[in-house]
Amino acid sequence: MKYWETNRAIIQDKFPGLLEQIAVDEVPYDIQVEAGASGAPGLAVNGLHVHSLRDPIREARRLAETIAEAGPVVVLGFGLGYTAEAAAEKAGNRPIIIAEARGGLLKKALETRDLRSFLLEHQLIFVIGGPADGIIEALQFCSQGKAAVPSLIRNRTLMKLDEDWYSQVERRIALWISKDDVNMATLRRFGKRWVRNLARNLTVIRDIPGVERLKGILPSALPVFLAAAGPSLDESIPYLPEIRKRCVIVAVDTSLRLLLRAGIDPDFAVVVDPQYWNSRHLDQAPAPRTCLIAESAVYPPVLKHPFERIFLCSSLFPLGRFIEDRLDFKGRLGAGGSVATTAWDFARVLGTSAVWIAGLDLAYPDLKTHFKGARFEDRALAESTRLNPLETRSVRALRDGCPFPAVSAAGGAVLTDRRLSLYAAWFENRIQTAPGLRTFRLSGEGIAIPGLATASPEELLGYPLRRDEINRCLREAFARTDADFGDPDRTALRNRQYQSALIELLAGLNQLKIWSDEAARTAGRVYRQKRLPSPQDHDRILKKLAETDKRIRESAVKDVAGFLFPPVEELESALECTEREPFFRYLELSAKLYQSLAESAGYTLEVLKGPKI
C-alpha cells in the first residue's frame, strides 16, 4: 500500500474516471503478492503465478521483443505491470493499450509497485472490464485515421481466469485488423472508380439537399421497417402490405425490386455502392413514389433513376467532402461496409425510437446468399451453362468469403464469413451507442448480434395504423426542404460557392503535383548517383524536402490528392537501397512517396478536367 497514494494521484490527474472504475471493482479471486528471487514482487491469483517468480522484469523484456516496429501495442492482462512497462520502453512514443478484465487487479498493482514513471512518461489507454467494444474505441483513437495493426502481448494466466471477456476483446481486435485489410483491398479495387464517379457527380453536391434536412422529422413513436437483402427477407413478404400501413418503409438497393414487385412503394431507398453492377439492382425498378438516399460517389446513372426525389448523405471521400465543406453540409450516415448499416443509421436519423429489420442475416442460412429473385440470382441464372451452373456459382460465393460457423440469433449454428462478421460487429457497436433506439429483427436465422432482439411479425403488426400520419410527416419535410434549399438567393449563393471551390480544387491539385514532381526529381537524382553529397549539399537537400513537406501539410487539397496513395509499407518493400545506406534509402523512399502523390494528384486532375459523360 505504500505506493498507492503517489500512483493514485497520477491516475486521478491523468486518467479521469479510471480511479472510480477500479476502486469499486471487487475481484472474486484469491490474490497474493509474493517476494520474487530477484527482489521484484510477484503476483499469484488463485494459486497461479501471473509473472515469473524468478525474474519478472527479464521475462517482460523478452515478451516485449515480439512487438512490431509500428502500430499500437495491446497488453492483455496487466498483472503487476512488468510487461506493459517493457512494452512501453520498446515502443517509444507509440500508444500502449492496457486491456484488463478486473479493475481490482489494476488497483493491486498500483498498491504494490511504484509506477510513477510508467504512468507519466508514456501514452497509455486503459480498457477495464465492461463491454469489449471499448477496445475498438481505443484502437480508433490510436489510429487517427491511419491503418495501424496492433501488436498483442498476452498474459495467459489472467486470460484464463476471465476467458470470455478476453476472447471477446481478441475477437474485436481481429475484426479491427480485418477491417483495415478489407478497406485497403476495397480502395485498391475501387478507388479510381470512386474518383471518376465523384468527378461526374460533383454538381449534385451543389444541387441536391442533404439528409440533415430529414433529421428528427418523425415522432419517436413512429416505427421504421428496414428491408435488408438476406435470405430471411422472403419470410416477410406476406406481411409487407400490413407493415406499410404502420411503418415508414426503408429499402436497400438490393431489396427495392422485391418490394416493388410485391406492390409496396418504399418511402426511402438507400444506395451508396459506387460499382456499375450494384447499380443494376435498380433495373426494371422505377420508383416514382420513393425518395432516394444516396452518397455522391454512386454510379452516375443511379442519380438519374426515376425516383420521386433525392437526398444526399455526406460524402465518405475527400473529393466529395472538399466541395461539401464549402457549400452545404449534407448530414453524416454511418458506413459499415454494407448498405444495410447505412440504412439503419438513416432510420435512426429520422427520429424513430424503433427499427424493425427483415433480411439482416449477415450469414448463409440453409446455404442461401440472398432472398429469392435477387438481381444476383437473376444474373447467375441468365449466365448459367451446363458446365458452369447456378449451383457452382453459389458454392464459389460461399467458399471465397472464407466461411466459418457462428452462433445464430435462434441459438443454433449458421454459416457466415469474415466480411459479414465485420458488418455484424459494426451493428453491435452502433446499437450500443444508440441506447434510446430499439432495434428488432424478424428472423432468428441470421448471425447473433448482441443488442439486436428477435421478434415476430405479429408483434410488429401490433402497432396502430399510421400511414396517413407518415405521409403527412414526409410531405411537410419535403415542402420545408423545397422552400429553404430551393430559395433563389440560396441557390445563387451555392452556385458562386461551387465555382470558387472548383477553382480552388483544381489550382491546389496542380500546385501540389508540381511540388511533388520537383521533390521526387531532387531526391531521385541524389540517391541514383550513389555518392554521398557534401555536408552543405546534404543540409540543402534535407531543407528543400522539409519545405516541400510543409507545403503539402498546409495544402487544402492534400487529402484529395492523397486518397489514391499506396501504403507506405508497399513502397518500402520495393526499395533497392539497403539498411547500410540509410541516407540513400531515405531519399529513395522520399522519391517514391512524392512520385506517388504527384501521380494521385495528376489522376484526379485529369478526371476532373475530362468530359463528364
φ and ψ at 17, to 5 degrees?
A: 90, -20
The verdict on residue 202 lying in a domain is no
Please list, residue by residue across 589-609, b when 16 or more beta carbons sit within 10 angstroms of its beta carbon and e when fewer do: bbbbbbbbbbbbbbbbbebbe
pLDDT score for 325: 94
**Which pTM does this prediction carry?**
0.73
User: pLDDT of 55-69, one tens digit each?
Assistant: 899 999 999 988 887
d(CA 258, CA 594): 49
Kindly state whether residues 476 and 432 are assigned to the same domain.
yes
- Which single residue is written with the C-alpha cell 453491435? 428
The verdict on residue 157 lying in a domain is yes
* Domain range enclosing 590: 489-609
Kindly state whether residues 504 and 479 are assigned to the same domain.
no
Q: Is 575 exposed, middle or buried (0-12, 13-18, 19+ CB in 10 A)?
A: middle
The verdict on residue 192 lying in a domain is no
Cα 362 from chain centroid (whole Å): 17
Split the chain (613 residues) into runs of 10 and give each run's mean pLDDT: 85 85 81 84 89 88 86 92 93 90 90 92 90 79 65 91 89 69 54 89 96 95 94 93 96 93 95 85 89 94 94 92 94 81 94 95 84 58 57 57 82 85 79 84 90 92 96 96 95 96 96 93 80 78 88 91 74 62 78 90 91 54
Query: How far lies 505's CA from each of 274, 328, 418, 559, 584, in Å?
Result: 22, 16, 38, 11, 34
Query: How far lies 30's CA from each of 41, 44, 45, 48, 587, in Å?
Result: 16, 8, 6, 10, 58
Q: Is 535 exposed, middle or buried (0-12, 13-18, 19+ CB in 10 A)?
A: exposed
User: pLDDT of 141-157, one tens digit each?
Assistant: 776 545 567 889 999 99
Of the three residues 179, 197, 221, the one that is the final residue of a domain is: 179
Of the three residues 130, 159, 179, the one that is the final residue of a domain is: 179
- Which single residue is written with the C-alpha cell 446468399? 369
Residue closest to 225 by CA, chosen among 255, 202, 184, 200: 255
Cβ neighbors of 559 (< 8 A, separation 6 or more) are 318, 321, 322
Of the three residues 433, 454, 483, the one that is the final residue of a domain is: 483
Kindly state whether residues 497 and 453 are assigned to the same domain.
no
CB 339 within 8 A of CB 318: no
pLDDT score for 613: 44
d(CA 421, CA 253): 21
Kindly state whether residues 454 and 552 are assigned to the same domain.
no
Q: How many CB atoms lie within 10 A of CB 356?
A: 25
Q: What CATH number is given to the structural domain containing 132? A: 3.40.50
Residue at 147: amino acid letter = A
* Distance spanning both ends of the chain, measured CA to CA: 74
Kindly state whether residues 459 and 502 are assigned to the same domain.
no
pLDDT score for 146: 52
Kindly state whether residues 297 and 337 are assigned to the same domain.
yes
CB 561 within 8 A of CB 607: no
Kindly state whether residues 474 and 497 are assigned to the same domain.
no
SS3 call for 160: helix
Kindly state whether residues 477 and 370 are assigned to the same domain.
yes
Quote the cell numbers at residue 232: 430471411
The verdict on residue 203 lying in a domain is no
Q: Mean pLDDT across the chain, nearest whole number? A: 86
How many domains is the chain partitioned into structurally?
3
Kindly state whether residues 39 and 127 are assigned to the same domain.
yes
d(CA 31, CA 361): 44
The verdict on residue 188 lying in a domain is no
Kindly state whether residues 503 and 542 are assigned to the same domain.
yes
Kindly state whether residues 392 and 502 are assigned to the same domain.
no
The verdict on residue 254 lying in a domain is yes
Kindly state whether residues 295 and 444 are assigned to the same domain.
yes
Quote the cell numbers at residue 331: 448530414
The verdict on residue 185 lying in a domain is no
Q: Show the CA angle centred on residue 338, arms to residues 608 and 397, nearest 5°.
A: 105
The verdict on residue 165 lying in a domain is yes
pLDDT score for 535: 78
pLDDT score for 503: 96
Report CA dihedral (575, 580, 582, 587) to the nearest 10 degrees: -40
Q: How many CB atoms lie within 10 A of CB 573?
A: 8
